[in-house]
Amino acid sequence: MNGPHDLGGQHGLGAIAPERDEPYFHADWEKRALGITLSCGAFGAWTIDESRHARESLPPATYLAASYYEIWTRALETLLTRHGFVTQTELDAGHMLEKGREAKRVLMADMVAGVLAKGGPCDRPVQTPPRFVVGETVRTKNFNPETHTRLPRYARAKLGVVEAVQGGFVFPDDNAHGKGENPQWVYTVVFDGREIWGEGADPSLTVSIDAWESYLEHV
């Protein structure tokens, strides 16, 4: 979707403002937000792709004004209500009012180390051979789906060169919407800065994305 999250190349968003000796958390609620988000992810009721889509579906004004832990928290409320674990009325009340759906897995303290160390690999075998080869010039597709995609706007309908075939991975555009993992080959595609930004582009710049096979066309 052409949402507020697709930020590459936008102007006017201000200074980077790196903070010296930045702490990991700026408030206690951020710690809880991190832990709650990861704990709820462990239910296995939704995928990381659905989470990302819930975050980018926040109203643009909310998204752009929010800290990242706020984005996570708001999206988590959406996911929990969508999947029947809690109701909005309960969130407003701050207490359980009805039983709701049970989780297949609840992350207990003694499971944390193992779960974090394992992570969630999303590489998958792909049955077909890669359609593109290293060194090949390709064009990225021009599309504007209202649904989830990982092809940023700035890199659509651009000529780039395949630099690496990175393996088969779960296809987020489908997986975010419960349509299955449908793995595809992922390629690192590198673009000349001038191809993307045109006039006035930094001549020393190249930018790469990691693109699923269906994002690419032969030239």
Partner 1 sequence: MSDHHHGHGDDHGHHHYDNHFTDMEARVKALEMVLTEKGLIDPAAIDAIVETYETKVGPRNGARVVAKAWSDAEFADWLRRDATAAIASLGFTGRQGEHMRAVFNTPDTHNLIVCTLCSCYPWAVLGLPPVWYKAPPYRSRAVIDPRGVLAEFGLELPVEKKIRVWDSTAELRYLVVPERPEGTEGFTEQGLADLVSRDSMIGTGLALSPEAVR
Within 81-120, which residues bind partner 1 (CB under 8 A)? 85-86, 90-96, 99-100, 103, 106-109, 111-113, 115-120
Number of Cβ atoms within 10 Å of the Cβ of 174: 19
- Is there binding between residue 15 and partner 1 (CB under 8 A)? yes
List the interface residues with partner 1, window 131-150 (CB under 8 A).
150
| DSSP secondary structure code for residue 191 in this structure | E
| Contact flag: residue 180 with partner 1 (CB under 8 A) | no
- Specify the stretch interacting with partner 1 by CB under 8 A; choose among 127-135, 173-181, 199-207: 199-207
Taking CB under 8 A as the criterion, the residue among 161, 190, 195, 214 binding partner 1 is: 190
> What letters, b where the CB count within 10 A reaches 16 and e where it falls short, cover 127-150?
eeebbbeeeeebbbbeeeeeebbb
* Candidate segments 131-139, 173-181, 202-210, binder of partner 1 by CB under 8 A: 202-210
Per CB under 8 A, contacts with partner 1 among 32-51 are 32-36, 38-40, 43
Q: CA-CA distance, 137 to 140, in Å (whole number)?
A: 10
Sign of the Cα torsion 6, 7, 13, 19 reads: positive
Helix (H) or strand (E) holding 166: strand 159-169
- In the complex, least distance from residue 130 CB atom to partner 1, rounded to whole angstroms: 15
